């Protein structure tokens, strides 16, 4: 007979304690332990102890040299960006978790994927929206698919009964926080419920070779809600990022057992759904009729993709006391450092100036290779001298004003050449082993920041 007991679970890391604690011993978070009612079945005596004659192992150990591998079959979707992020498509039996802020477009993306898989039976399980709401969204997306099934259910025992009858090829769960297992008596969204429901879907995926995609909520800090063990259980973790007020979204991989974690996909949110962006550099560069001061082009890497982005700066006299330092899409502390380098090594008097920096397109960038473009953009606005639209920059700037080498320089140069740029500024140290003859773009190698300014502004 099942016996009931309560335990306290940390809502951050999943640590459980028989009594309440003010501070979690595992993740050191305060007031994160919540009481949950759990149910445990009594194990049958004799079939779990060592030496039991009733124990029947399900598998036996094999020599690694005796294990034969075959080429991995994948379900190729119509979404090339998703295929790239997953490493080539959906792997049968895989468990994928996708997270993102509310309203960013997770459900829209997953419904779009479900409707586009016309050669497979897809079951879309929704615990948040009704059938009518999903039908309205599908109508807006302008997709038609007779093999896409909608199930509005939250109880896992009922869900698996429908799965057994339907036998789908792909299962999408929206969202894992709304699922409820009858084996756990705590409420939906609790740590124990999330762990149990995810474990049930993982068992189903591995036993049936059906890929399962789960949508997960995130916390206000930006991490996936629920215990950290949830990310360890799944095969792939995807993060859907972007500003809900901007048009562009980034699908980034943070864990992938079947491919690279350095890939990303870029989408544009439109009225009829998410559109794949095959060449993001073209949309991230604004078309200007005339050259304007304070604008430079940076060559950056996002995963394995080279992007050219526009850096916009505005330097003006501070008339209201303390000068302002504001950046959008770029680390504010790194901006402060680069401004100090410009003042100390470049001779620019920025101590009495307001400096505003913006990365066009709403992207958030962390690649240090855009340092040179930021410095050139600020200097251009300070001197009110425009930089040619046909120039781009790819280098890191050190505290001594030196131009430092960066990685993947050939990919950056090739992308700049493909987009029609005439000149690219890089570090002198990147010239080692670089064949300039195979590029049709003028490559300018510099050692100091002042060398770049002298060439641009005279």
Residue 29 or 458, more confident = 29
Q: How confident is the model at residue 232 (pLDDT cuts 50, 70, 90)?
A: confident
Question: Of all residues in the chain, what percent carry a pLDDT higher than 90?
Answer: 47
- Quick one: pLDDT at residue 227? 64
Contacts of 65 (CB under 8 A, 6+ apart): none
Number of C-beta neighbours around residue 154 at 10 A: 16
- Quick one: pLDDT at residue 1? 45
Which structural domain, as residue segments, surrounds residue 306?
Answer: 285-457
Annotated binding site for ATP: 100-107
Q: Once rounded to an integer, what is the mean pLDDT over residues 297-317?
A: 88
Q: Is residue 247 part of a domain?
A: yes
Q: Which tokens belong to 130?
A: 């009704």
Q: Which of 215, 243, 278 is the last residue of a domain?
A: 278
Contacts of 42 (CB under 8 A, 6+ apart): 1, 2, 3
Q: Once rounded to an integer, what is the mean pLDDT over residues 107-114?
A: 93
Q: Once rounded to an integer, what is the mean pLDDT over residues 378-406?
A: 93
Pairing of strands 95-100, 236-241: parallel
- Quick one: pLDDT at residue 48? 35
Q: Which of 262, 278, 294 is the last residue of a domain?
A: 278
Question: Of all residues in the chain, what percent carry a pLDDT higher than 70?
Answer: 90
- Quick one: pLDDT at residue 29? 83
For residue range 136-191, list pLDDT tens digits in order: 999 998 888 899 999 999 999 999 999 999 999 999 999 898 999 988 877 788 88
- Quick one: pLDDT at residue 155? 92
The answer to whether residues 127 and 99 belong to one domain is yes
Q: Which of 225, 260, 278 is the last residue of a domain?
A: 278
Q: Closest by alpha carbon to 214, among 97, 136, 313?
A: 97
Q: Is residue 141 part of a domain?
A: yes
Q: Which tokens belong to 230?
A: 């949830």
pLDDT at 286 over 70: no
Assess contact for 115 and 141: CB atoms under 8 A: yes
- Quick one: pLDDT at residue 287? 62
Q: Which tokens belong to 420?
A: 């029609």
Q: Is residue 289 part of a domain?
A: yes
Number of C-beta neighbours around residue 7 at 10 A: 17
Among the listed ranges 31-40, 326-335, 403-412, which one has the minimum average pLDDT value?
A: 31-40
Give the domain CATH number at 267.
3.40.50.300
Summary mean pLDDT of the chain: 86
How far apart are the C-alpha atoms of 169 and 123, rounded to whole Å?
Answer: 8
pLDDT at 5 over 80: no
Q: Which tokens belong to 399?
A: 């505290």
The answer to whether residues 304 and 260 belong to one domain is no
Residue 229 or 331, more confident = 331
Among the listed ranges 36-40, 89-93, 449-453, which one has the minimum average pLDDT value?
A: 36-40
Q: Once rounded to an integer, what is the mean pLDDT over residues 278-293?
A: 72
The answer to whether residues 251 and 359 belong to one domain is no
The answer to whether residues 414 and 369 belong to one domain is yes
Give the domain CATH number at 444.
3.30.230.10
Q: Which tokens belong to 336?
A: 């402060």
pLDDT at 392 over 90: yes
- Quick one: pLDDT at residue 47? 40
Q: Once rounded to an integer, what is the mean pLDDT over residues 294-300?
A: 93
The answer to whether residues 357 and 402 belong to one domain is yes
Q: Once rounded to an integer, what is the mean pLDDT over residues 94-119?
A: 91
The answer to whether residues 154 and 24 belong to one domain is no
Residue 49 or 428, more confident = 428
The answer to whether residues 85 and 120 belong to one domain is yes
The answer to whether residues 294 and 388 belong to one domain is yes
Q: Once rounded to an integer, what is the mean pLDDT over residues 388-404?
A: 93
Q: Please list the alpha-helical segments (H only) found in 105-261.
A: 106-116, 131-141, 156-166, 191-208, 229-233
The answer to whether residues 254 and 294 belong to one domain is no
Assess contact for 412 and 429: CB atoms under 8 A: no
- Quick one: pLDDT at residue 241? 84
The answer to whether residues 326 and 391 belong to one domain is yes
For residue range 23-73, list pLDDT tens digits in order: 888 888 888 888 877 655 544 443 434 444 455 566 788 888 888 766 668
Q: Once rounded to an integer, what is the mean pLDDT over residues 91-102?
A: 91
Q: Which tokens belong to 444?
A: 């300018």
Q: Is residue 381 part of a domain?
A: yes
Task: State the total domains in the chain.
Answer: 3
Q: Is residue 56 part of a domain?
A: no
The answer to whether residues 248 and 293 belong to one domain is no
pLDDT at 288 over 70: no
- Quick one: pLDDT at residue 57? 61
The answer to whether residues 89 and 20 belong to one domain is no
Q: Closest by alpha carbon to 242, among 364, 112, 99?
A: 364
E strand or H helix at 446: strand 442-446
Annotated binding site: 100-107
Per DSSP, the residues of 151-193 read: EE--BHHHHHHHHHHH--SEEEEE-GGG-B-TTB-SPTTSHHH
Q: Is residue 418 part of a domain?
A: yes
> What is the number of alpha carbons within 13 Å of residue 393 lying toward its C-beta?
31
- Quick one: pLDDT at residue 302? 79
Q: Is residue 393 part of a domain?
A: yes
Q: Is residue 62 part of a domain?
A: no
């Amino acid at each position: 007979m099942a016996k009931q007991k309560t335990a306290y679970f940390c809502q951050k890391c999943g640590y459980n304690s028989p009594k309440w604690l003010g501070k979690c011993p595992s993740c050191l978070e305060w007031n994160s332990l919540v009481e949950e009612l759990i149910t445990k079945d009594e194990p049958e005596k004799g079939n779990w102890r060592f030496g039991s004659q009733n124990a029947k192992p399900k598998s036996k150990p094999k020599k690694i040299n005796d294990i034969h591998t075959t080429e991995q079959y994948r379900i190729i979707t119509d979404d090339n960006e998703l295929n790239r992020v997953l490493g080539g498509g959906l792997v049968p039996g895989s468990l994928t978790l996708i997270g993102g802020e509310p309203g960013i477009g997770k459900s829209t993306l997953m419904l779009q994927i479900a409707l586009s898989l016309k050669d497979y039976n897809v079951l879309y399980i929704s615990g948040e929206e009704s059938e009518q709401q999903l039908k309205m969204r599908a109508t807006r997306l302008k997709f038609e698919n007779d093999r896409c099934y909608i199930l509005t259910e939250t109880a896992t025992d009922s869900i698996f009964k429908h799965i057994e009858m339907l036998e789908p090829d792909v299962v999408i769960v929206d969202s894992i926080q709304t699922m409820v297992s009858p084996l756990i008596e705590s409420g939906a969204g609790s740590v124990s419920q999330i762990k149990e429901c995810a474990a049930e879907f993982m068992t189903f995926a591995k036993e049936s070779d059906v890929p399962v995609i789960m949508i997960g909520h995130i916390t206000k800090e930006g991490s996936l809600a629920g215990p950290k063990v949830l990310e360890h259980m799944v095969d792939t973790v995807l993060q859907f990022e972007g500003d809900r007020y901007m048009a562009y979204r980034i699908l980034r991989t943070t864990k992938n057992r079947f491919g690279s974690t350095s890939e990303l996909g870029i989408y544009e949110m439109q009225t009829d759904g998410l559109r794949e962006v095959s060449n993001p550099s073209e949309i991230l560069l604004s078309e200007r009729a005339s050259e304007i001061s304070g604008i430079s082009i940076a060559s950056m890497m996002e995963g394995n993709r080279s992007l050219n982005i526009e850096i916009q700066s505005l330097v003006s006299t501070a008339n209201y006391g303390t000068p302002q330092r504001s950046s959008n899409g770029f680390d504010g502390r790194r901006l402060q450092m680069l401004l100090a380098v410009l003042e100390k090594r470049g001779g620019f008097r920025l101590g009495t100036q307001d400096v505003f920096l913006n990365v066009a397109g709403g992207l958030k960038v962390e690649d240090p290779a855009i340092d040179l473009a930021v410095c050139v953009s600020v200097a251009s606005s300070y001197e009110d001298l425009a930089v040619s639209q046909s120039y781009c920059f790819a280098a890191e700037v050190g505290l001594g004003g030196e131009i430092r080498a960066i990685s993947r320089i050939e990919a950056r140069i090739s992308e700049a050449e493909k987009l029609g740029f005439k000149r690219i500024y890089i570090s002198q140290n990147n010239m080692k082993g670089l064949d300039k003859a195979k590029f049709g773009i003028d490559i300018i190698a510099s050692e100091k920041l002042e060398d770049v300014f002298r060439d641009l502004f005279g």
